[in-house]
Structure 1
Amino acid sequence: MTGTALKRIAPQLLALAALVGLVSLFYPGFLSVSVNDGRLVGPAIDVLKRSAPVAILAVGMTLVIATRGIDLSVGATMAICGAVAAYAVSAGTGLPVALALAIGAGLLAGLWNGVLVALVGVQPFVATLILMTAGRGIAQLITEGRILTFTDPAFAFVGSGTLWGLPFPAWLWLALAVLTALVMRRTALGMLVESIGINRRASALAGVNAVVLLIAVYMAMGFCAALAGLVVTADIRGADANNAGLWLELDAILAVVIGGNSLLGGRFSIAASVIGALIIQTITIGIRLAGFPSEYNLVIKAVLVVVILVLQSPRIAAEWRYWRDEARRKREAEGKGTP
């Protein structure tokens, strides 16, 4: 990672470090890690595992928001894909076929959203709200209104397995984030996505096929939603059409915003978004470990998120730079005036 990239995510890393320190004050064992049956266990490892659905969604949501779009349907898409996978496994199709069908369902959902936004010209908020509304109904039709369980251990491994000591979901979101960041920054794709978000008409005049790229971005979001749905479904060994991915679209958007990415599109950072997902999960688990009453959890979480966003805001950063430069100039002036 270059120095510029590190500087870009420095505020998010500092916020995460400060949050970990705050949680450790209330729960000193937060960073303790032990080995149990060849697996690393501890609250910090739990954060890495439980962050998986939001972190995976945040990767795709970052690309969508970079194009000045939004996707409210990712939670419903998770429910659909989880239902498809569980139904296929229960029907005896085998895990590879079940995974392929679930990912195909996610890509199809992304294609639907992308066509509405890029070809039909529907506002992203409205276009994805359609699938958000209908998606859970589709998932309930697949599961026949019940929690569809399965016993396939290979599928369960996706949500609760361990690979090289770490939970498999943690490896999954880490690999997805790294691969996506490499593709976006080592090729021209990242610049093209940013150009659409900055000015779609100008990018089209410059030769960028905005329609194809927008559809591809929403399909990538659908792919990420499918992966997240598989993780959630495999973790509980069942497809819950009512609750799978419920409100996770909001956490994914929040992770992108905490990562410092603008909702107005343009420049983006995958690394900053997944750090935002870690911040959200650290807050959630930290509040529980600190022993605060469950009634206050959402309020405390909201307050902490607001504080983090305010501290990361461009205006606060500009004020900090101003006072820092003023202090430096004052020291230099005092130094020159010393006989």
Structure 2
Amino acid sequence: MTSFLKTLVRTPWFWGLVGIALLLMLNVIKDPTYLAIGVNPTTGLLTGNVLDILRVSAPIIMIALGMTFVIATKGIDLSVGSVMAVGGAAAMETLRAINDPNSYGAMFTAIGVALLLGAVLGLVNGLLVAVVGLQPFISTLVMMLAARGIARVITGGQNTNATNQPFQQISNGQIFGLPTSFVIAIAIVVIISLIMRRTALGLMIESIGINPEASRLAGIRPRPILITVYVLSAVLAAMGGLFTVSEVMTVDVSGTGYQMELDAILAVVIGGTSLAGGKFSILGSTVGALLIATLNKTVLFLGVSAAATPAFKAIVIVLLCLLQSERVRNYILQAGRRRSRKEAVA
């Protein structure tokens, strides 16, 4: 049991769970009913702050999942927030063009168009990085600006809304009492986890991140792998955009996905994936995304001013990273032992 606890304490995502628990505890101190679950008398659906956190976490889980594999190859994708806007814009414009409020065909068409467009943008990123040889920071920074412009072109520079009941249920519906978007997100996480761990793809991604030259000499072709991870990141970002716009059935070309790339990077780092590349943790990134969603909800619930919000989030994240540091933990343990010895001598 002691060995298990030591292993657990050294696991980064464990401290993500601790952070989530502490944030929920802080909210409960302010309002003892914070974790209460009720039933909406009009819709018959479950309601509560916890369900809101799960719903908000769905798009963050998607972009964090895609970012995990990009970072594992020693890259970065700064365009995920803008690709979310492109996916949302494409979906809303498609639904508005079809104009069938109850059509499942319109919903699937909108989803397909959004994901296809996301894949194309991801392919461009992948080609710029793997074939042209641009630095991931530069190529995805360019795509971040370009994709936001593409979203404006798609919508004519206007916020676009549409009506489609099946599409709206992606975020506002429930499956077994859980938000539909969260259930879909977790299902995607499970599927991709199985693909990464039951095939050689995950191992090849890690090997490229650890030593691309050694990987090449071992027979691994880096270019197709790099293109794959950037396409996957963009497709998942487009899916995150679908989750975001389906909640309000409106795309804000300036606001949708704004600065979400920062949340994605934070979620991945909190989950234990190193920015230096190499081994990645899908579970860790998922826990990190849940932590970011809980933190965002906590900021609103506590009424932290907009000016102080970045500082509040930074303090929480820095404290969590310190808890993850083995050097800091060892220092605290050694200080505790020295104090115990002094008390024993006295």
The alignment's TM-score, normalised by the length of structure 1, stands at 0.90
Q: Does 1:70 align with 2:76?
A: yes
Partners of 2:132 and 2:227 lie apart in 1 by 11
| Structure 2 gaps, min length 5 | 99-104
- Counterpart of 2:15, as a letter, is P
Equivalent position to 2:270, from 258, 264, 275: 258
Q: Is the 1:117–1:127 contact (alpha carbons within 8 Å) kept by the matching residues of 2?
A: yes
Range 202-211 or range 312-321, more displaced:
312-321
Q: Is the 1:59–1:224 contact (alpha carbons within 8 Å) kept by the matching residues of 2?
A: yes
The structural deviation recorded for 1:6 is 9.3
Aligned to 1:319: 331
Q: Is the 2:172–2:180 contact (alpha carbons within 8 Å) kept by the matching residues of 1?
A: yes
Q: Please list the CA deviations of residues 82-102 of structure 1 after superposition, one character each: whole Å capped at 9, or x if unmatched.
A: 111111111118222221111
Q: Is the 2:10–2:326 contact (alpha carbons within 8 Å) kept by the matching residues of 1?
A: no
Q: Is the 2:15–2:320 contact (alpha carbons within 8 Å) kept by the matching residues of 1?
A: no
Range 29-38 or range 233-242, more displaced:
29-38
Q: Please list the CA deviations of residues 247-301 of structure 1 after superposition, one character each: whole Å capped at 9, or x if unmatched.
A: 0011111111111221111111111111111111211211222234444333212
The structural deviation recorded for 1:313 is 2.3
Equivalent position to 2:54, from 44, 48, 54: 48
The structural deviation recorded for 1:152 is 1.1
- Counterpart of 1:21, as a letter, is M
SS of aligned partner of 1:28: coil
The structural deviation recorded for 1:310 is 1.7
Aligned to 1:11: 15
Partners of 1:152 and 1:6 lie apart in 2 by 46
Partners of 2:224 and 2:26 lie apart in 1 by 45
Map 1:66-215 to 2 at 5 A: 66-92=72-98, 94-215=106-227
Aligned to 1:303: 315
Range 274-283 or range 242-251, more displaced:
274-283
Q: Is the 2:125–2:230 contact (alpha carbons within 8 Å) kept by the matching residues of 1?
A: yes
**CA pair 112-45 structure 1, distance change in 2 beyond 3 A:** same
**CA pair 209-67 structure 1, distance change in 2 beyond 3 A:** same
Partners of 1:162 and 1:258 lie apart in 2 by 28
Partners of 1:118 and 1:55 lie apart in 2 by 26
- Counterpart of 1:134, as a letter, is A
Range 284-293 or range 222-231, more displaced:
284-293
**CA pair 101-19 structure 1, distance change in 2 beyond 3 A:** same
Partners of 2:265 and 2:301 lie apart in 1 by 25
Aligned to 1:243: 255
The structural deviation recorded for 1:321 is 6.1
Q: Is the 1:52–1:228 contact (alpha carbons within 8 Å) kept by the matching residues of 2?
A: yes
Aligned to 1:337: none
Range 170-179 or range 205-214, more displaced:
170-179
The structural deviation recorded for 1:159 is 2.6
Partners of 2:320 and 2:283 lie apart in 1 by 17
Q: Is the 2:17–2:291 contact (alpha carbons within 8 Å) kept by the matching residues of 1?
A: no
Aligned to 1:288: 300
Q: Is the 1:27–1:289 contact (alpha carbons within 8 Å) kept by the matching residues of 2?
A: no
SS of aligned partner of 1:291: coil
Equivalent position to 1:35, from 15, 39, 51: 39
SS of aligned partner of 1:31: coil
Range 99-108 or range 86-95, more displaced:
86-95
The RMSD of aligned alpha carbons is 2.3
- Counterpart of 1:139, as a letter, is A
Q: Is the 2:77–2:136 contact (alpha carbons within 8 Å) kept by the matching residues of 1?
A: yes
**CA pair 322-119 structure 1, distance change in 2 beyond 3 A:** farther
Task: Kindly tell me the number of residue pairs found equivalent between the two proteins.
Answer: 329
Of all paired residues, the percent bearing the same amino acid is 41
